[in-house]
Structure formats: structure tokens, C-alpha cells
Chain A
Amino acid sequence: MDWKGYTVIYVVLFVFATAQAVVEFVGIVDSAYWLAFGIIMVLSVVKAVGVAAYYQHLRWEPRAVTYLVLGGTVAALALTAAAAYSIV
């Protein structure tokens, strides 16, 4: 990827981060908490995938590297979700 591509990604990341803060500043967090929660977390996931795919070049690595990363992610999510569910 050349510097132009990297720059496009950077701009998108910057805008999404701002959008997350905007969601709070306009008051959605107070008025519709779980909607805000959803929007903000989806934005974080999109940003994370963008950084991993383009800046860490996962797009161009063998799929196995992505599975390695997903393995760790799934393990962490399983722990978090199951533990939280066990006490609700």
C-alpha cells in the first residue's frame, strides 16, 4: 500500500473517533444509552479492523495469521461474555 492509501485510512479513523465523542456530546448516551453503546462499540470494531487489516497488513498475510488473531479475540470474548452472563 502506498502513502495515499494509508492516508485515506487515517482520515477515516480520525472521523470515526470524532463521531464516537459526538455521540456523547449530543446527548445520546444520556437519552438512549444502549443505542449509544451499540453505535460506539460498532465504530470501535470498525476502526480496529481497519488498523489490523491495513496498518498491520493482515489483508495481505496468509489467512492463518488472521485466524491466530481471531483465536485470541474469541478466547477473550468468551471469557468476558460467559463470566458476565453467569451473574445476571
Chain B
Amino acid sequence: MSEAHDHGLPPKSSVSRWFLTTNHKDIGVLYLVTALFFLVFGGLLALLFRLELITPGADLLGSLGYNQAVSTHGLLMVFWFISPFAFGFANYVVPLQIGADDLAFPRLNALSYWLYLFSGVLMGVSFFQGSTFAGGWTMYAPLNTPAYIPGEGLGATSVVLALIMFTAAVTLGSVNFLTTMYRMRAEGLRMRDIPIFSLSINLTVWMMLFAFAALLAALMILTSDHILGTTYFQFANDGSTLATDADNPGASLLWAHLFWFFGHPEVYIVFFPALGVMAECFQTFTGRRLVGRKWFIISMVLVAIQSFAVWMHHMFLTGINLPIKTIFMATTIGISLPFDLMVFSLIYTMAKGRVRFTTPFLFSLGALILFIVGGITGVFLGAIVLDYQFRGTYWVVAHFHYVMVSGATALFGGLYYWYPKITGKMYDETLGKIHFATYFVGFNLLYFPMFVAWETPRRVFEYSQDLQIWHSMATVGGFILGASMLIMFYNLFVSLWRGEDVGDNPWAYATTAEWAVSSPPPLENFPGVPTYADGSLSFMDDEEVARRTSGPGGSGVAADGGTAADGGTASVTTAATATPATPAHEAAGEEHASHASFWPFLVSLGGFVAFLGLSGVRTGSVVYVSMAAVGGLVTVGSLFGMTREPFHAPEMPIAERWPFASVEKMKLGMWTFLASDIVLFGAFIGSYAFVRVAYGWSEWHHDLIPAEHVTMPGLINTYLLLTSSFLVVLAMVAAERESKKGTTAALAGTFALGVGFLINKGIEWNHLFHISTEMFPNGWNLSTNIASSTFYLTTGLHGAHVTIGLLICAYMTYRAWTGAYQGDDRAIEYFGLYWHFVDIVWLFLFPLFYIL
């Protein structure tokens, strides 16, 4: 490609390109390659324990080895393979399909990728810390707590931290994709008109935004149990009587609730992108528009919403009451109905069109068939009485592999489908078909016998002798499935050189916008600003854009706050360095967007080192402690570097932005992030309410909380935070009036009040740690009881938010003092959104933890 246009980005043949790039297509490729690596990693583990299962008993891996292999296989496939694989396509294809030149926050996108990669590396490292996590991919309590983990359990802590890092990547990604899809659609492209794959990604990121926040809460609490010594998921606190749950009766169920509130939407998070690929392939290779497209979309929206109201079908065998089980059985049966509609829509599309049996189509069709089997067998599990029988058996294993791996099947179809677009070369069709045939046979030989041998208990290596034949078949199937993937790797690798060159569009009936540009597309994607204003895709040149945006009511011009701004709380301050609204002809020009930054890689590297250090700080080892400190410094330092780096990601001069037309991208990004933060805090407060209800709401205060825990410090802190919020809005007023003194003073006041808040809290905590009363002779600290755990951790999370806010506030005070923000209060407004949110959270923590 034309390297002159690569804007400081080295060519693709250079290694440094891949560390620097922020371009969505490069990052898409990085995601795809990395995800395939984790597929191989997780797949080899699966082959290992399939070998183990040829005969009952753990004679190959040993029992701990078996448990580690099974747990890691599950975690890797669910988190590190399948979703990131889908997001490789999402990265590459979504901007092209909606007419954007990149994602809204390109550096944030690179940061997502590197966090993902390093979280996976941390997973790998955990094997070398004695042993990795071995308690199953659902990580049920209390088997996920240190007291129940063999050895020191540092590897298990690393796994939890790796998941946190992964979740951070996902949350940033969700914010980024949502902002992109609501701010950067080509003119004339209504939400309902965007291609079905992009639509499936849109719904997926919506689910991610909320579901992963709940998972993050669960993981942060678990980390705290591991490192800080809180006791959310532990039954007893004295370390000797582990068998009783009298002190904390909610422990085990709390994890199940948090995990499955995330876990069920996760099924659709995994499956929706696959559904999007299937719909695209069915349309392209039957030459038909999706039959009942509107209803297909409505079904997907319904499922996405309802997915948050079915989670307790994973808990039918726990102590939850019968009425709630019945309700969740009903919602579960309800959620299967929209899927029927989608399946029939795909079948009718096929029946009405003329099918071309290419490799992508075969994989899509195969996925549909496997999904139907997986779906029907899932209905069994959704019925309470049947679930009593099937829970904990291989029926579950077979069912969810039919569902999840059918998703993977469709995504492999997607890989063949977009391979020519990404590489400019055609793969070998014959080898592709051979791959599909072997894959399909291997798949069914692997998973179908599990239905037959359903009485095998799940997660263990022991099973009845007379089921051995089925397990042997499954093992053979596993190896065939694995071998089939080698055919794909060979085919795609060799075709990079030997494949025929393809033009823009090798598929006769592909109509989406990614096929309207060259293969691979140029760095800036389109030859001009895309528009669908007259019904089909065309491109506006600079002149036309300038004419359209300069005239009276040139509504399309985005007030551009994005010069160095790249989303996230850490860099919100930089919006202020934005140049005033760029002239339209410049904004539309291709010369000015930045594409290279080294900071995302450094931030993630620092995060990796810090987390690895954190996994071992409880041992007091100098190595671990210094890694945590150095890693933390590198992270904060690189975030600061990223904030200071001039990076230009212009908003599109003309775009379709319903329903967020007047909410510019930094603001939308911030609000989206806050929405997920609401769920994070909501899950923390919900956890508190849950364990308190489990313990007995009224007895809680009397039994577990010392009289020294009084209202006054909380009330004072409420006043401090309210006043600081007031000062932030005054800073906005002052900035608008161009009063440098006023702005600086108000921000400095905010900072001082925030510091006061932390000091007051410090004094209070210190006092409570060291009380000595009849009830609490050794103080009231994090490990004292479940009430102290919830108090310190929930208000501590809030305190951490205050601290982050203060770092930003200090920086902004300095900037205001040097004359920034005058006449442009947007940066202060965005910081304010965050700060007021932290204030609002406290408005609930105060009564819940100090009064009631």
C-alpha cells in the first residue's frame, strides 16, 4: 500500500508497526491471530484431558493436573478465544460496514488489545506459580478462595487478576464500539439499516457493557478475598472451622448470583457475533436478503434484553426458593422463542435463494445445524424437574459445547468469508471443504457421545466402566477436530503467497460496504466521506464536505474535542488541548488523523507487571512487592504520557448519529463508561444487600458492627463531597466567563475537599481498626466479619474512585492555572460527569453503611 499515506506508521512488514498501530484493521488482525493462538492453547489442554478420559481415573495428568487442564481450558476458550476472535472481525469489519474511517477512540482500541494479550500472558504465567486455578471455569465459592486452594494459591490469584485485566479490555472495547456506532455512521445509515453483522456486534457490546461490569464486581471482590483478606466468599473466618457457614450464609450463593448474572448474557455475547456472521454468509451465498430481517432484528434485541433475566436457571439445584425458580424457568423458556424465529428466518433465506456451497457457507450451515441440536438439548436444562436430573452431568457439557462451539464454527466460516478482504488473496476452496468435512465429523464424534454417556459426572475423571466406549469415541473425535484445524492453518498460511489475487469483491452477491473498497482496504478506508443519502453508497470529496458544512445550518460539523482526547477517565483532561473546531476541509482530509502510539502497549505492560506482582504480595516477597510497585508506576506514568501525547482522531464531518446527535464523542464515551460503572457499584451494593439479607437484615447491625461505628464521619464526608461537586460546576461557570482565577480556585477547592474526604476516611478507618471492646477485642478490620468486609471494600472502591478523580483534578487545576479551559468548559464538564457520579454513589453508601 502507499506508505506515503501511512502517517508515521511503519509498513506492515516491520515488526514495530504492530506495536505502534492504532488502526482498526491492524488491531483486528492482531485480535484474530492472538485469539487463534489461545484456541490452540485451550485446544491442546482439551486433547490432554481427552487422553486422560480414555479410561476412568487420573493416571496421566494426576488429579490436580486434570483439574488445572479442565479449568484453564474452559477459561481460555470462553474468554481468551471465542469473544476476542469475534472482535477481530468486529474491529476489522464494523467501521467498514458503517462507513467510519476507524473506531471513535483508536488508542483506546489498541489499549483494549494489549490488555487482552497481556491478560492472556498472565494466564500462561500462572502455571508456573506452583499451580494455576483448578476450581472449574465457573469458579464457584468457596473453592475459589485461598483456604480451599491447594498450595500457596498464587497461580489462582493470577488467574483472577488476569480475568480483571481481560474485563478492563472488554469494557474499554464496549465503550469504544458503542461510541463509534452511534457517532460515526455514514450519512443516511439508520441504526436499523446497518449490516446485520454490525448490528449483532452492537447488541453484543451493549450486553458486554453491563454483564462484564457485574463480572468485574465479582472478580474484584474475589481478589480482595485473596489479597486483602475480606471474607465475602468464605464460610468461616477463623481459619479452622471451614465447614460451617453460620458466619456468612450468603457466601456461596453470592458468587453464583454475580457470576451467572454475567454468565448467561455471556452465552449470547459469544453467540451473537456468530449469528451475525451466519446471517451475512446466508445472504451472500444464497443471493437473498434475509427473510424477515426486521423480525430477526427485533428477536435479537429481545434476547439481548431478556438475557439479563434468566440467570437463575443455572442455580436450580441451590437453595433458592421455588417461586423464583419457577419465574426463571418461565423467562428461560421465553428466551428460546425469539431464537426459533431467527432459525426459521435463516432456513427460509436458504430455501428461497440459490445456494452456493462455498466454505464460509458450509461452516455457517453447519453452525446452524449444531446450534439447533444445542438449543433443543438446552431446553431440557431450563426445566426445573429435568435439571434436577441433568445438572452436573455430561448432558450439560455436551449441550453447551454444541452451543458455544457452533458459535466458533460460524466464526471459522467468517474467517474464510473475510480472509480475501483482509489479505487480498483467495484461500484454497477444496482444502476449505475438506476442512469443513473433517471438522463436522470430528465435532459430532466428539460431542454427541457425551449425550449418550450423559450419566458421566461433570468435572471429574472418574466414570462408570460401561461408558468407556463413548468416551473413547469422544477422544477420537477430539483429535479429528484438532487435526481439521491444522488443515485450516495450512490453507490460510500457504494462500498468503499462493492464493489468487482477489479484487474488491470475490463474492458475487456480497453487498455490504467492506466489499466496495479494495482488498485489503487502504489505511483510511474510503476515498471520501461515505454517504447513503441517495440510497446507495457514494463518497463526498473535500469540496463537497466543505460546501455542506460551511453553509448556514451546516449541521454536520462536529464540535471537535478530540485532538488529544481518547476517552477513558485518565485522559479526559486532554480534551482541553483540542484545537478549536477544525475547518471542515481539514477534518475531512486524510492527512491529519494519527495512527501510531506506543503508550497503549506500555500501559498494558505496566499493568501486567503490576498484576503479577499483586498475585504474590501476600507472601511479602520482595520480588512480588517490587513488581507491583514498578508495574503500577509504569502504568500511571504511561497513562500520563498517553494524555500528553498529541493524537488526532477527528470526528466525521457529516454522519448519522441518532439518538446521540448532540452528544459529542468524548461525552458519549464518558456516559457509556459511567453506565457500566453504575452496574459495577450496583453489584457491590447488591452484594452487600444480599449477604445482609442472608445473615438477617436486622440482626446484622447488632451482631456484627461495633458501637464505635458512628454516623458523624459519614455525614461530614457527605458534606465534603457535595460541596466539591458544587465547586466543579462553579469551575465550569468560571471557565465559561473566562475567569482564570475563578476556574483555578474552584478546581483547587474541589481537590482540597476530595483530599479532606480521604483524610477523614483514613482517620475513621484507623480508629475502627484499633478499637478494643468486649465484642471486638482485636479491632474491627477487613477480616473481622462479613459486615466489616462489605463496609471496607465497598467504601474502599468508592475511595479508589475518589483517588483517581483527584489525580485528574490535580492535573486540571495545574492546567487551569496555566490558562487552559477559558471559554471552553467541556473538559471540566467531562471530569464533572465522573466526579458527580462518584458523589452520587456516596449518597447511597452513606445511608446504607452509616445509618441503616
Binding site for B on A (CB under 8 A): 1-3, 6-7, 9-10, 13-14, 17-18, 20-21, 23-25, 29, 33, 36-37, 40-41, 43-44, 47-48, 51-52, 55-57, 61-65, 68-69, 71-73, 75-80, 82-88
Contact = CB atoms under 8 A, between A and B. Distances in A.
Given A52-B836, A87-B320, A75 B698 contact: no
29 contacts: A6-B729, A7-B726, A10-B723, A17-B718, A17-B722, A29-B851, A44-B847, A47-B840, A47-B843, A52-B836, A55-B728, A55-B839, A56-B836, A56-B837, A68-B672, A72-B679, A72-B682, A75-B682, A76-B682, A76-B685, A78-B308, A79-B258, A80-B682, A80-B685, A82-B312, A83-B261, A84-B693, A86-B257, A86-B324
A23 B730 contact: no
A58 to B, nearest CB: 9
A76 B719 contact: no
A2 B733 contact: yes
A69 to B, nearest CB: 6
B682 A77 contact: yes
B309 interface: yes
Nearest to B694: A87
Given A56-B836, A72-B678, 20 more contacts: A3-B733, A6-B729, A10-B726, A14-B719, A17-B715, A17-B722, A18-B715, A21-B711, A40-B847, A40-B852, A47-B843, A48-B840, A52-B840, A55-B725, A55-B832, A56-B837, A64-B660, A76-B682, A86-B312, A88-B693
Contact of B250 (A2, A56, A65, A87): A87
A20 B846 contact: yes
Given A33-B698, A76-B681, A78-B308, A51 B319 contact: no
A25 to B, nearest CB: 8
Given A37-B852, A51-B840, A75 B679 contact: yes
B818 interface: no
Contacts of B634: none
A6 B829 CA distance: 14
Given A3-B733, A56-B837, A57-B829, A76 B843 contact: no
Nearest to B698: A33
A42 to B, nearest CB: 10
Contact of B839 (A6, A40, A41, A51): A51
Given A84-B690, A87-B694, A55 B852 contact: no
B308 A75 contact: yes
Contact of B689 (A17, A48, A84): A84
Contact of A62 (B253, B660, B715, B852): B660
Interface residues of chain A: helix, strand, loop or mixed (majority): helix
B725 A51 contact: yes
A72 B829 contact: no
Nearest to A73: B678
B727 to A, nearest CB: 9
Interface string B644-663: 00000000000000011111
Interface of B: 210, 213-214, 250, 253-254, 257-258, 261, 308-309, 312, 315, 319-321, 324, 659-663, 668, 671-672, 674-679, 681-683, 685-686, 689-690, 693-694, 698, 711, 715, 718-719, 722-723, 725-726, 728-730, 733, 829, 832-833, 836-837, 839-840, 843-844, 846-847, 851-852
Nearest to A21: B715
A55 B847 CA distance: 21
B730 to A, nearest CB: 6
A14 B851 contact: no
Contacts of B839: 51, 55
B722 A36 contact: no
B852 A51 contact: no
Contact of A85 (B324, B711, B719): B324
Contacts of B210: 71-72, 75
A44 B686 contact: no
A24 B710 CA distance: 11
A33 B729 CA distance: 36
A41 to B, nearest CB: 7
Given A48-B844, A79-B261, A84-B689, A23 B660 contact: no
Closest 9 CB pairs of A and B: A76-B682, A80-B686, A72-B678, A64-B659, A72-B675, A86-B320, A10-B726, A83-B257, A86-B324
A21 to B, nearest CB: 5
Given A71-B675, A75-B682, A6 B726 contact: yes
A45 B28 CA distance: 43
A87 B320 CA distance: 5
A45 B536 CA distance: 48
Contacts of B689: 80, 83-84
B837 A62 contact: no
A69 B686 contact: no
A52 B257 CA distance: 29
Given A55-B832, A80-B685, A44 B678 contact: no
